[in-house]
Amino acid sequence: MATCSARGSPSVAATMLLLFGLLMSTLGITGAQTGVCYGMNGNNLPSKQEVVALYKSQNIQRMRLYDPNKEALQALRGSNIGLILGVPNDALQGIATSTSTANNWVKTNVVAYSSNVKFRYIAVGNEVSPVNGNSQYVNFVLPAIKNIRSAISSAGLNIPVTTAIETGLLSTSYPPSQGAFRSDVRSYIDPILAFLSQNKSPLLANVYPYFSYKSNTASIQLSYALFTSTSVVVHDQYSNLGYKNLFDALVDAVYSAMEKAGGSSVGLVVSESGWPTAGGTSTTVANAKTYNNNLIQHVKSGTPKKPGSLETYIFAMFDENNKSPEEEKHWGIFNPNKQPKYQISFS
């Protein structure tokens, strides 16, 4: 380290200014780390302009949109909100089989807004899987990713293109170091990971401790699911890492699966996580408040396997009354009248 005078020399002042700037930029990164998914499957939701204004008033600096809704994209102009924009599953076949369709999609939904909408990622497909009931889309995901990526590049833009998976692709997640993808999905996920690695794009994963807890309440403690355990609950004998919460265990299982499938250099973004307030198991306002507030704070420091901030998106901004079953209607952190269901802070 270079030595310098201790009495307010220019080098000391410059160093202090640099450190202050780094501190403030770090605070800005961690403060903005958690975004919120904006689903629109309700008939009583606020206007798109009101929604963007609500994001800004609550210091929610990142959004996930599931399709290129024109009014929402228009409302996002100049907002500085970082956006994950989705290509819906029903659009995958057309984009995968026609470069002109892909080019038109990008021109209409990305290029037209790129001067003042802050695109973070394009998510090509959501939870497409060979084994979960939407397998008709499987063969179109990677070709669609490639065509969208080519169109983005041809337009002179640099926006990572990826897809969002669900943890049902894992054959096991316990202990986390043994996480692996199912043998019957490897032919689907391995080439996607290879492409993401080649293009330095992260994989998106929807990670829900709630569903793991709901399906196994006999073995999983509620405190382990809600980030409220004060001591290690799961000790991974293979990695020698300890887990106090189920979220970390699931995320690290995905990391382990990615490594086994050749994706050790691929980053991970948690593109959905949350807790419903009604309609299911332990679905109370208090539990949702506990989970989501703890999630916001927790992802600033990452997981035992991958310390450091973890970009994460809460599902969802509003209750969506057109969804089913009943449990699916109650994931919002805000009511449709824009009032918060419970106190939550993104600052």
Distance CA 321, CA 43 (A): 7
Distance CA 94, CA 56 (A): 35
> Given a cut of 70, is residue 1 above it in pLDDT?
no
Q: Three-state DSSP class for 261? A: coil
Q: Which of 50, 71, 127, 327 is catalytic?
A: 127
| Residue-level pLDDT at 15 | 35
Check if 127 is active-site: yes
Average pLDDT, integer, range 168-181:
96
| Residue-level pLDDT at 33 | 76
**Domains along the chain?**
35-329 (3.20.20.80)
pTM for the whole thing? 0.90
Average pLDDT, integer, range 155-164:
98
Burial annotation 216-228 (CB, 10 A radius, 16+ → b, else e): eeeebeeebbbbe
pLDDT digits (tens, 9 = 90+) for 225-261: 999 999 999 999 999 999 999 999 999 999 999 999 9
pLDDT digits (tens, 9 = 90+) for 71-103: 999 999 999 999 999 999 999 999 999 999 999
Check if 272 is active-site: yes
Q: How confident is the model at residue 12 (pLDDT cuts 50, 70, 90)?
A: very low
Q: Which of 166, 272, 320, 327 is catalytic?
A: 272
Task: Please name the residue ranges forming H helices in the chain.
Answer: 10-31, 48-57, 70-76, 92-97, 99-109, 138-154, 186-199, 209-215, 222-225, 246-260, 285-298
Distance CA 205, CA 272 (A): 7
Distance CA 304, CA 239 (A): 10
Q: What is the mean pLDDT of the chain?
A: 91
Q: How far is CA 100 from CA 105, 147, 229, in A?
A: 8, 9, 52
pLDDT digits (tens, 9 = 90+) for 277-288: 999 999 999 999
Distance CA 251, CA 227 (A): 14
